[in-house]
Structure 1
């Protein structure tokens, strides 16, 4: 089976992890801050907080921005469920914005219209989680201009998009958002095994996320409400979590980060081969600037495709060893969110994207023969 995605691990990655195994620290050692500093520098953001998953990073970002019961969080109707669940973890209500079916990314026109209506009815969101699907960045400057009219905070869910660009800047610079979140799951552009990171330019958000990831505990005397009993003392000042990243994961992530430019070039080259060779009637997901996309996923679309026909094609491709996938079932379609009152038909762009889209295998070590096998299977069907 040719997988839809797969990590690339070489000897330098293995050595980086072994070096940590042979050191004095496996968990809270010096490598995590080095990884944080390296990612922040790469993206030109001021601060970074490494955690055990992108889901944890989204949760921390929501808490640091003060999301709670009675508040609202909006996100794209097409994403992994974590983009919405982070709001529910905080007790907030969650709603969705429809997508442009040609890109799968949140529609700025739909967002603007929905915000106008929400302002009239007093139902504005506190936070928008803006998703960069498949590694293509939204136009963050335009999105921020829309949200700023209504004082909506922005979290970028850039789980697919480390290495991508927003205009001429690296995704993660946070010039137009409060927090940007990356994922380092094995199928993402770089991996730390499991892991995530939240970037921000705000010292207050940075300090809050840093403390919340480690049980809400501080060892800084000036932050202890009742003072310190001595140099051994620590104070839990709020209810936090154990969301820390280990030095083992950070070592792998730091090693992988050094290879990111090469990984991006390889993914873009593979995507170009697909673009030029896709058999009719398939067409690639619309990517405005291919050289700016991380191509975490390679999504194809067939106009007018019905779900029943896609199910047949999906099964036939899997039977031929092609590990196709689907990213994603619209979140409003999920039973949990339908039980909260969501109506899938309210998001026609997302439903069209869902019917017509399919994810093809694409990963750094994919061979020419494997890619040709995928294309030939598509052509036969």
Structure 2
């Protein structure tokens, strides 16, 4: 089976982890701050906090941006459930904005329409909007930023797919048009730490809040305590935090992986360009990249032209897998999940998200993929669709 995604681990990665295993600290040593510094350099941003998963990063970012009970946050329906779950973790309400059919990202026009409708009709406006950079391509952040200024909400970029991408010539992660950005380092992402995530921000206040919350709300900094320390052992819990820390083992792998970020991205772009060229005569729609964006191609998602096919979406998917091609689907609209249907979305539907779900299919794409494997994917898909 050719997988849809796969990590790339080399000897340098293994050596980096072994070095930590043989050191005095395998949890909170020198590798965590080294990884944070490396990410800050790549993204040209002053503050980075790494944590044990991107879900944890989303949760902490929401809390640090002030989201809580009685608030509402909006996100994309076409995303992994964590983009919405992080809102619920804070006790806030979730709502969804339809996608752009070309980029699969949250659509600024739909966002503007929904904001206007809610404003005119006295409906809840969002305290926070979480645009998701699907497949490695940035959302139209300039347009979203203008709406944030108009309606007074904060912006958290879910860039789980998009480390190394750029928007208007600036790296995703620099927070030019947002209050914070979240990355994921899951094994199928651009770089991996096994599991892991990061929050990037230009705000010292947000960064300090996340640093506190990721480690049980505990500080050892005397300047932050309400009285003089009893001794060198002393610490204080200032808030109800979490154990969301990244280990030095994970961070060492991240530092090593980040050195190959450019190579990973270039390989993905070459494979994506080859897919686009060789699939030009097959009855499907290939993905597009907006002019302002440079995608890192975390995913290559096609859309089937079902009106030209005798097979259903499900039949194409199952035949591909039966023939050894590990296609996938990213994602089922979040509001269709039983939890969200039971939470007020029983009769909810967004037309572009629905159409996307009926047609979308993720083809295999990963740095170690060979042209022979890619040819197998293309020929298998062409044979099934013909």
Give the structure 1 partner of residue 354 of structure 2.
Answer: 351
Residue 304 of structure 2 corresponds to 302
Comparing 368-377 and 113-122, the one that deviates more: 113-122
Please state how far the C-alpha of 1:223 moved relative to its aligned partner.
1.1
1:314 aligned onto 2:313:
no
What's the secondary structure of 1:49's corresponding residue? strand
The one-character-per-residue Cα deviations of 1:1-58 (angstroms, maximum 9, x if unpaired) are 0000000111111111111111111000010001001001100011000000000000
Tell me the equivalent position of 2:129: 128
After superposition, what is the alpha-carbon deviation per residue over 1:116-144, rounded to whole angstroms, capped at 9, x for unaligned? 12223141111111100000101212210
Q: Which runs of 5+ in 2 are unaligned?
A: none
**Residue 154 in 1 paired to residue 155 in 2?**
yes
Query: Is the 1:102–1:353 contact (alpha carbons within 8 Å) kept by the matching residues of 2?
Result: no
- In the alignment, is the contact (CA less than 8 A) between 1:344 and 1:351 conserved in 2? no
Number of equivalent positions? 381
Per-residue deviation at 1:206? 0.3
Q: Map Cα deviations across residues 73-132 of structure 1 (whole Å, 9 max, x no partner).
A: 110011000000000001000000000122211111000011112223141111111100
Q: Deviations over 1:179-203 (max 9, x none)?
A: 1000000000000111000000000
Counterpart of 1:12?
Answer: 12
Q: Which residue of 2 aligns with 1:107?
A: 107
CA contact (8 A) 1:268 1:290 kept: no
CA distance in structure 2 between the partners assigned to 1:27 and 1:308 by the alignment: 52
Q: Distance in 2 between matches of 1:46 and 1:72?
A: 28
Question: How far does residue 345 in structure 1 lie from its aligned partner after superposition?
Answer: 4.9
Deviation at 1:346, TM superposition (A): 3.0
TM-score by length of 2: 0.96
Q: Please tell me whether the aligned partners of residues 306 and 313 of structure 2 are also in contact (alpha carbons under 8 angstroms).
A: no
The answer as to 2:367 corresponding to 1:364 is yes
* Paired position in structure 2 for 1:328: 331
Change (3 A) 1:291 1:204: closer
Q: Distance between the aligned counterparts of 2:292 and 2:382, measured in 1?
A: 24
Structure 1 residues 284, 84: CA separation in 2 closer, same or farther (over 3 Å shift)?
A: same
RMSD: 1.5
Using the alignment, how far apart are the partners of 1:290 and 1:9 within structure 2? 32
Q: CA deviation at 1:221?
A: 1.2
Quick check: 1:377 aligned with 2:373? no
The separation in 1 between residues aligned to 2:346 and 2:125, in whole angstroms, is: 19
Residue 139, structure 1, aligned to residue 140, structure 2: yes
- Per-residue deviation at 1:226? 3.8
2: distance between equivalents of 1:61 and 1:345?
A: 27
Shift in Å at residue 172 of structure 1? 0.2
User: Does the aligned pair in 2 maintain the 1:345–1:351 contact within 8 Å?
Assistant: no
Q: Is this contact kept in 2: 1:165–1:292, CA < 8 A?
A: yes
1:308 deviation in Å? 7.7
Does the residue aligned with 2:59 lie in a helix, a strand or coil? helix
The whole-number CA distance in structure 2 between the counterparts of 1:344 and 1:265 is: 43
- Residue 292 of structure 1: aligned partner: 294
Distance in 1 (alpha carbons) for counterparts of 2:39 and 2:118? 36
Q: 2:202 & 2:356 partners in 1: Cα distance?
A: 34
Report the 3-state secondary structure (helix = DSSP H, G, I; strand = E; otherwise coil) of the residue aligned with 1:138.
Answer: coil
- Distance (whole Å) between structure 2 residues aligned to residue 75 and residue 316 of structure 1: 33
Give me the whole-angstrom Cα distance separating, in 1, the residues matched to 2:189 and 2:69: 32
- The answer to whether the 8 Å contact 1:178/1:202 transfers is yes
Give the Cα–Cα distance (whole angstroms) in 2 for the partners of residues 307 and 257 of structure 1.
45
Distance 1:375 1:142, change over 3 A: same
Cα deviation for residue 288 of structure 1 reads 2.0
User: Does the C-alpha gap of structure 1 residues 291 and 148 become closer, same or farther in structure 2, counting only changes over 3 Å?
Assistant: closer
